[in-house]
């Protein structure tokens, strides 16, 4: 895994669980309101964190952690995501995957193999507005909705969005709920650090 960041303890990334957070480097979307802009480029500004270093730390602390969140960037674009998740599971850790939903086949494989215990899928905007976050435009929304369906079908996660001032109003959120066929956890946008 190309790891651009590692948070040893978070009390808010997996509600109810004290969790470590692994941030994958690189994302296939370009949300103008990205909360982790330094993780978007495949090439980080600084050095990557060696995977072995992260796994060793987790192995030492696993009894004190409620789980690990794998976030990003976008974890599902990493070719070795599934083998990394398998290493986390081999440590006996519960795993939450945060994803923009663009790779439904990867998320389905992770769920099918028992490598993710919970998945949070970001549904960014209504399908007709996906050009705001992806050069694939409307076509980018189809795979995301496929991921949403896969996660909800097995009751292993939720759909969420970041409400950005000037983009998301109640009408837009209602349109998104209709398209997702689910309630959406709405999180307020926060200016990225720095
Ligand atoms: S999907 Fe997430 S990491 Fe990627 S650009 Fe959007 S907010 Fe940033």
Q: Which atom of ligand 1 is nearest to the CA of 133?
A: 6
Q: How many Cα atoms sit within 13 Å of 126 on the Cβ side? A: 14
Q: How far is the CA of 92 from the centre of ligand 1 (A)?
A: 29
- 161-193 residue pLDDT tens: 999 999 999 999 999 999 999 999 999 998 776
CB 5 within 8 Å of CB 23: yes
Q: How far is the CA of 35 from the centre of ligand 1 (A)?
A: 7
pLDDT of residue 191: 79
d(CA 64, CA 175): 41
Mean pLDDT of 65-83: 97
Q: Which atom of ligand 1 is nearest to the CA of 73?
A: 3
Domains belonging to the chain, first-starting first, are 3-188 (3.20.20.70)
């Amino acid at each position: 895994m190309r790891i651009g960041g590692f948070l040893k303890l978070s009390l808010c990334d997996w509600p109810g669980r004290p969790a470590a957070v692994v941030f994958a480097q690189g994302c296939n979307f370009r949300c103008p309101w990205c909360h982790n802009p330094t993780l978007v480029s495949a090439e980080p500004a600084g050095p990557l964190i060696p995977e072995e270093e992260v796994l060793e730390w987790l192995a030492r602390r696993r009894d004190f952690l409620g789980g690990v969140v794998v976030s990003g960037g976008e974890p599902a674009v990493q070719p070795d995501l599934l083998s990394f998740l398998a290493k986390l599971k081999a440590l006996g850790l519960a795993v939450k995957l945060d994803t923009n939903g663009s790779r439904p086949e990867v998320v389905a494989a992770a769920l099918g193999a028992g490598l993710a215990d919970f998945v949070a899928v970001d549904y960014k905007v209504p399908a007709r507005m996906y050009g705001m976050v992806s050069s694939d435009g409307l076509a980018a929304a189809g795979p995301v909705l496929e991921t949403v369906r896969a996660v909800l079908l097995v009751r292993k996660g939720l759909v969420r969005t970041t409400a950005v001032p000037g983009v998301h109003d109640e009408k837009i959120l209602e349109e998104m709920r209709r398209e997702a066929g689910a309630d959406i956890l709405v999180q307020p946008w926060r200016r990225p650090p720095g």
